[in-house]
Structure 1
Amino acid sequence: MKNILLIGGSYGIGQSIITTLKDTHHLFVASRTNENLHHKNITHIPFDVTVDELDADILPEKLDGFVYCPGSINLKPFKMMSLETIKDDMELNFFALVKVMKHIISRMNEQSSIVFFSTIAVGTGMPYHTSVAASKGAIEGFAKSLAAEYAPKIRVNVIAPSLVDTPLAKRLLNNDKKRALMNKRHPLNRIGNAEDIAETAIFLLSDKSAWMTGQIIGVDGGLSTLNIH
């Protein structure tokens, strides 16, 4: 059984990854709450990524996979976006990730896999996305450099979704009209769900993706590459 560390995972995409892997992997989940994390193969580590230092001594000597789940969606016109919001987004999405990586990179096993999350808005410019696109863009650049530096030992890939129906996006999907408009924007005529993204993450953690590294993978209902309207 592989040892997989997830930062976050109490809900949304992280929870979906855990639900699929918990019977076949040893999962170490560092998150603020342990909701939905009660299983014999799950070790929960109380952890707030914005303030805590990860105690690597709790982890196994070697990790086969790592997934960083925390993220933010702050959508506002740039003139209304405060510098503090941009700093907070950068701290949560990027600097906290780097801090965790400093603690665990030496524990990554030969042929291990690291999975980060970005957003479609990095590669496809979208209004009101300046803060999240900047912080997730940092992740994409970091991941490619990391993948180059640690090849062939460690694989590093990034998933760049469009809008996904998770608690993080509830403000954007809080009525039927908003949901219908968001569905219509996508060539596949629906927004994503947690399982859509989780299945890609699970593939990247597995040996089935053994010849993939340094990739930014769009899982976005076709929005980044197709124009059908």
Structure 2
Amino acid sequence: MSFHGKNILIIGASSGIGYAIAKKLENEGAALFTASRTPPENLKNQHIVWDVTQPTNGIFDALPDTLHGIVYAPGTISLKPFQRFSLTDFQSDFQINVLGAVAVLQANLSKLRKANGASIVLFSTVAVQTGMGFHTSIAASKGAIEGLTRSLAAEFASAKIRCNALAPSLTDTPLAAGLLANNEKREASAKRHPLGRIGTPEDIASAAKWLLSDAGSWITGQIIGIDGGIGKLK
């Protein structure tokens, strides 16, 4: 599954799932381009400093004319009772999870078209298809990502640009640190999953690499659960 000669842009590669994806692709020979507020460490890449809440303002113009893949990995975990969410909370989650992705894709669509077979990987959550209390804000914004994924897949199919989304359950990343703050919380979270453990960034990265590779070239418009079985099994 070689990525030699392929240019991949990863938004949010400084830690967690985005970083795990970047490392896997680096090992496969991809030319990596990353964008986030903080540059990733120990990674061969060309980095662009960008906050996903800000306009792109041409910052991606310096990238190569052709991109073979884009991964949009930023996310949020805001969990609390519905009545405690403010409208600003919903807007913030939507900006980070959805509008940031829209901005990146619009800024780089011409580069994806030139690949004659590009792949977009977005991120949803198990909480969209499986109702979970206290998840209203994140489920609302990630639900929009699922709609965006299918719509883009349909619109871009003629250009041979594939678009898919991964829908993880709880994964051991810095973003989830508060939910996994001690052994008791970790054990309780693991027991909720039929496979008896929480996810790792590498679990998610392996699926993302597959979708970005030629091995996934007949897959588009899919929302793929990487969730230890919690989304479908009892």
Greater share of strand: 1
Equivalent in 130, 141, 156 of residue 163 of structure 2:
156
Describe the SS at the equivalent of 1:57: coil
TM superposition shift of 1:37: 4.6
Once the two structures are TM-superposed, the CA of residue 35 in structure 1 deviates from its matched residue by 3.3
Distance in 2, Cα, partners of 1:143 & 1:35? 26
So what's the TM-score if we normalise by structure 2?
0.94
Q: Say what the alpha-carbon RMSD is for the aligned residues.
A: 1.0
Q: What does residue 212 of structure 2 align with?
A: 205
What residue in structure 2 maps to residue 195 of structure 1? 202
Partner of 2:100: 96
Of 94-103 and 195-204, the range deviating more from structure 2: 94-103
* 5+ long unaligned stretches in structure 1: none
Segment of structure 1 superposing worse, 165-174 or 21-30? 21-30
Q: Say whether the 8 Å CA contact 1:37–1:44 is kept in structure 2.
A: no
Checking the alignment, whether the CA contact within 8 Å between 1:29 and 1:43 is kept in structure 2 is yes
AA in 1 matched with 2:162: R
User: How many angstroms apart in 1 are the aligned matches of 2:102 and 2:69?
Assistant: 16
Which residues of 2 match residues 119-134 of structure 1 at below 5 A?
119-134=125-140
Instruction: State the identity %.
Output: 53
1:57-76 correspondence to structure 2 within 5 Å: 57-76=61-80
The offset of 1:142, in angstroms, is: 0.7
What pairs with 1:100-119 in structure 2 (closer than 5 Å)? 100-108=104-112, 109-119=115-125
Shift, 1:56, TM fit: 2.2
Aligned residues: 225
- Aligned equivalents of 1:177, 1:184: Cα separation in 2: 11
Aligned residue runs from structure 1 range 162-181, under 5 A: 162-181=169-188
Unpaired runs of at least 5, structure 2:
none
- Could you list the runs of 4 or more consecutive aligned residues of structure 1 that deviate by over 4 angstroms after TM superposition? none
Tell me the alpha carbon deviations over residues 9-62 of structure 1, each in whole angstroms, 9 at most, x when there is no partner.
0000111111111140100001111131542xx111111111241512111001
